[in-house]
Amino acid sequence: MKQFIFCLLFVLIPLLTHAQDKHDYNWLLGLHRDGIERFANHFDFNQDPVEIRPSALLGGLQQGTVMSDADGQLLFYSGGCYIANRNHEMMENGDSINAPGGPYYTDCSRDTSGYFLFQGIISLPVPGNKDLYYLFHLRKPQKNKEPDILCYSLVDMSYNNGLGKVIKKNITIAEGQFADAVTAVKHANGRDWWIVAPEDDDIYHILFLSPSGITHTIQEVGYNWSMGRWVNNAVFSPDGTKYARLGEGNKLLYMCFDRCSGLFSCPILIQLDIFLGATFGIAFSPNSQLLYVSYIEELFQFDTKNLSNNSKPILIDRYDGFKLGFAANFFRMSLAPNGKIYMCCANGIAVMHAINAPDSVGTACRFEQHSIPLFGSNHIGINHFPNFRLYDQAASRCDTLGIDTPEHLPEPARWVPVEGMHIYPNPASDYFNLAVAACESGRLRILNAEGRVMYEVSNWSGPQNIDIDATNWPGGVYFVHLFRYRFRVIHSVQKVLVVH
């Protein structure tokens, strides 16, 4: 019997892990003030189609993080001033988030918008503990100044009959000139997290969250630029392999990301000269192949498969002039659990836009302006979430926990190394895979021991994966040569052993 129970638990552990995928099933947008007939908006993605209903928030969520449990039930939320429980009451010890400082006293004393940042807070479950949740948040030194401290607070939901308690608050992680663009992505093992907080130049603070706690590293990627106040926006692709960030002067930075090492590579900087003003919003399609960028009166789409410094996007639509007191123009976007992308208005009015088929190219994405009526102002903000339904990266060196992607979800993109190439499996039988990560184009050759070319690709561009059919190759050692045209030297040579 004990052996049966052990086996049953071994089978159920991955299933229980897979159940933990609804942490973003509640969105809370807007504000609510005592004595004023004004409502916030609760998006409930547990319903199909999504149910939007009025909600009485504690204060406001101009930005804001919202956390639900594994089954999609609301747990807590924060607009950067305090942490509220699911009953819209102050969580125990949940006051004075981001205090002290002038911005806290000005932004949080009015009970309206919350802390004045757009992407300055995000919450994540602690790996291996169903009750603990981290909030990573930025703190400003003065009004209209960039954040200068990256903090964390820790919530324990086992207190107060499930209403929670803040057990750590405003703990400094790092100091710097941070951009208002905190985001996160799952580690390739399918359990842990990477949290990225860029500075206002080339510095990227990268946090690793595991059951052992938080570790902190810094990476410089080679582009020193100013973000500006309103255009800060960064997002990971749903498959976790791409990162896009908007900057001042209509600049778009696009990079590859290694979910194993937590390192960026292959940066591409695109100058968006076709935009007439500032770009404000950015979002990836569910399949991670298309990237949407919004200017205040235009929506554009990039194809990421062939993205380069000279790429030009497709114009999806222009603002149609609709007003609801103020103009229903274009602002921030967020990919929802139902596969749609929702966009708020820069004026915060009681309406939103929707991209209904974001995996489709061009106007087939079915962008509908002011198609989502709201109960109250969204207060020029939209909730930002990581992809909680991203699991292991199969065949990667970090796929060590057996947390496999559920069958009903698409497999994430295959793992690729930050540089060079990776061969898997090795030794191989009939097939093996080459993961190529070099940014520049080049030539790939596989030679046998006598120097005969067994496979060749004359013009490749990484990162990519290549499946090699070695069914008819004699058993033995083969040499994989990777040339990079830019430097005209052999970039890498590796051996692969074929055994039938």
Burial class (CB in 10 A: 0-12, 13-18, 19+), 373: exposed
- Equal fold, 2-373 vs 421-498: no
pTM: 0.89
Q: Report pLDDT digits (tens) over 170-203.
A: 999 999 999 999 999 999 999 999 999 998 778 9
User: φ, ψ for residue 11 (rounded to 5)?
Assistant: -75, -40
- Three-point CA angle 360, 361, 367, nearest 5°: 70
Per-residue pLDDT at 314: 95
- Three-point CA angle 386, 147, 200, nearest 5°: 80
Fold that domain 421-498 belongs to in CATH:
Immunoglobulin-like (2.60.40)
Distance (Å, whole) CA 462 – CA 303:
16
Per-residue pLDDT at 15: 40
SS3 477: strand
* pLDDT reading at 3 higher than 50: no
Distance (Å, whole) CA 288 – CA 414:
13
- Residue 233 is classified by DSSP as E
For the chain, what are the domain ranges?
2-373, 421-498
Tokens of 347: 């004026």
Distance (Å, whole) CA 373 – CA 354:
11
4 Cβ contact partners less than 8 Å away, ≥ 6 residues apart: none
Instruction: Of 174, 200, 295, 302, give the one whose Cα is nearest residue 242.
Output: 302
End-to-end CA distance of the chain: 41
Distance (Å, whole) CA 500 – CA 495:
16
* pLDDT reading at 19 higher than 60: no
What is the average pLDDT across 386-415? 87
Q: Report pLDDT digits (tens) over 68-83.
A: 999 999 999 998 888 9
Tokens of 79: 């607009």
176 within 8 A of 205, measured Cβ to Cβ: yes
Q: Report pLDDT digits (tens) over 303-326.
A: 998 788 888 899 999 999 999 989
User: φ, ψ for residue 6 (rounded to 5)?
Assistant: -60, -45
Rg over CA atoms, the chain: 24
Q: Which residue has the tokens 């123009």?
A: 329
Half-sphere exposure of 57 (CA within 13 A, CB side): 38
Q: How do 323-324 and 326-327 pair as beta strands? A: antiparallel
Question: What secondary structure does DSSP assign to 225-237, as a single string?
Answer: ----SS--EEEE-
Q: Report pLDDT digits (tens) over 21-64.
A: 899 999 998 876 655 545 789 999 999 999 999 988 887 677 78
Tokens of 326: 């103020």
Q: Which of 184-193, 271-280, 375-384 has the highest mean pLDDT?
A: 184-193
Instruction: Tell me the torsion sign for CA atoms 389, 393, 398, 401.
Output: positive
Q: Which amino acid is at 227?
A: M
More confident residue, 174 or 439: 174
What is the average pLDDT across 265-278? 78
Distance (Å, whole) CA 104 – CA 93:
16
Distance (Å, whole) CA 229 – CA 246:
11
Residues in the chain, overall count: 500
CATH 3.30.70.100 fits 2-373, yes or no: no
Q: Report the Cα 273 to chain-centroid distance in Å.
A: 26
